[in-house]
Amino acid sequence: MKKCVGCNKTYDDTWKVCLLCREPLVELGQADSKTEQPHTPQAGAKEKRPVGIKVLAVLFIFSGIMGSLSFFTFIMPQPQGEITVERFREEALKRFPDIPAEELENFKQFTENPFLKNVLEAQNEYINSPKYKFMLIITGLMSILLLVIGVGFLKLKEWSRKAAIFLHLINIPLFIIFMRSMFTPFLGAFQEGAPEFAEMKQVIPVMLTIQGVVITGMVLAIIYYLTRPKVKEHFKP
């Protein structure tokens, strides 16, 4: 007796090809041994990546490059020194020398408002703080790691999938800590100045909350996608 390895239909020894599958028939013992062997791609065959993996790979590489460039830009020495109200006013007038008289008067009133002085002082204090330097180091390391993960995604490496999940898990608390440490020093600047600036003290926490919810949702969506069985099977050691 012979058997089709495609549909398992049996034939007598006079048949050579399956009527349904048009596949060659083999002896019953040989058919059983072939069905037990797992399917392996042909040598040199290129595995097709899902679109989601390709998109994440490009996104990780792009974010890693931009984050790394920003990191190395910020750690470079800044010869200009601290930003003062006078320096802010001079550089603004140099950049926009053709400001109309009415707008120029409004700009001068803005620079004379205590709000601007408070913001610049808070910015200078924050940039010179150890907290800011620590944040830059963590951001730089995460950007480099994200770039490496993106390359691993292009090669469908299993370690890159696990590293991406881990990185996004720790990204949620780090984002909250970084945003809080970044904007907290500036909240005091809104206590003085024009009423429209004082209202920003209530607006900023709301904006940070919305941003945090959006970022958290995106991170959880990426983690959910990377843990799907059909996605996991494409990655290999």
56, 26: one domain: no
Which residue range(s) make up the domain with 216?
51-232
The answer as to whether 91 is a domain residue is yes
The answer as to whether 109 is a domain residue is yes
Res 39: pLDDT: 45
The per-residue pLDDT for range 6-27, each reduced to its tens digit, is: 777 888 888 888 777 677 888 8
Res 18: pLDDT: 79
Instruction: Say how many C-beta atoms besides its own lie within 10 A of residue 232's C-beta.
Output: 12
Q: Which helix (H) or strand (E) holds 123?
A: helix 114-127
The answer as to whether 18 is a domain residue is yes
Distance CA 110, CA 194 (A): 9
107, 28: one domain: no
The per-residue pLDDT for range 27-70, each reduced to its tens digit, is: 876 645 544 444 444 444 455 678 899 999 999 999 999 988 87
Res 89: pLDDT: 78
The answer as to whether 125 is a domain residue is yes
Of the two residues 153 and 172, the one the predictor is more confident about is 153
91, 207: one domain: yes
The per-residue pLDDT for range 90-104, each reduced to its tens digit, is: 877 788 777 777 777
119, 6: one domain: no
The pTM of the full predicted model, rounded to 2 decimals, is: 0.61
Res 132: pLDDT: 79
C-alpha angle 137-142-143 in degrees, rounded to nearest 5: 100
Res 192: pLDDT: 56
Q: Are strands 25-27 and 10-11 parallel, antiparallel or unpaired?
A: unpaired
- CA 13 remoteness from chain centre: 61
30, 55: one domain: no
Res 41: pLDDT: 46
